Amino acid sequence: MRCQALNNPKTNSITSLCLDQAKTLRNIPSLKKLELIDCRVAESGCRVLAHELSRSATFGIENLVLDHNNIGDKGVQALAEGLRFHTHICELSLAYCDIGRQGYSILANILTRPNTAIRVLNLEGNVCTAGGANDFLIKLMRNTSIQSLSLKNNQIFIDIVLTNNICKSIKSIVNLTALDLDANPIEENSVRFMAASLASCSRIRQVQIYPC
């Protein structure tokens, strides 16, 4: 099921219309993927979606895409309530959703729960920052499901001081095989160090580090 906002100035209830569709999820047990892209889903919309996720234990949605919505940290907090109970989701995309350091901390708490199944996590275009990335990756060391992680374009400034800590955390995420750190302001020396350090970890097969 896919829903996108229409470019119609007379329409002011796009989120309501999309989430009305989301409320039918429990009646579609075969549904595997839900996309609500650029649908003006903010904190209140995340609350509705989380409610449906938490009460619809029988439907099998595995891929949830909420890209280009103004979700923010409060929206992540609301969504987390649904993700705590709905453990079928294997792929989660929250690209360009205005998520900051607090939101990353909330996501990390969900990802370290023993029942999480999320293998692919796309957080491109948010505002993690270096300190937030460091904290997030340290927490992910306790995760056993993540295989692919994108922190592309997240305003992560990594200098040589922070590089070693971040590399240690990345290599300690036990099932991680793909990492995208493109378009972050990473120092040239840090890029070289990270490339060499992560290349020594045979489990990590794909690393993208092209600084902006």
Half-sphere exposure of 92 (CA within 13 A, CB side): 26
Give the three-class secondary structure for 169: helix
Pairing outcome for strands 2-4 and 33-37: parallel
The conformation of residue 173, written as its DSSP 8-state character, comes to S
Beta bridge partners of 34: 64
The H or E element spanning position 196 is helix 188-199
What's this model's pTM, rounded to 2 decimal places? 0.89
pLDDT for 24 equals 61
Q: Are 191 and 162 in contact (CB under 8 A)?
A: no
pLDDT for 7 equals 35
How far apart, in whole angstroms, are the C-alpha atoms of residue 179 and residue 160? 19
Beta bridge partners of 186: 158
Pair of tokens at residue 62: 């595995």
In angstroms, how far apart are the furthest CA atoms of the chain?
Answer: 56
pLDDT for 149 equals 98
Q: How many CB atoms lie within 10 A of CB 137?
A: 25
How far apart, in whole angstroms, are the C-alpha atoms of residue 5 and residue 128? 26
Give pLDDT tens digits along the chain (212 positions).
Answer: 555 543 333 333 345 555 565 556 566 667 788 899 998 899 999 998 898 888 765 467 899 999 999 999 999 999 999 998 888 899 999 999 999 999 999 999 999 999 999 999 999 999 999 999 999 999 999 999 999 999 999 999 999 889 999 999 999 999 999 999 999 999 999 999 999 999 999 999 999 999 88
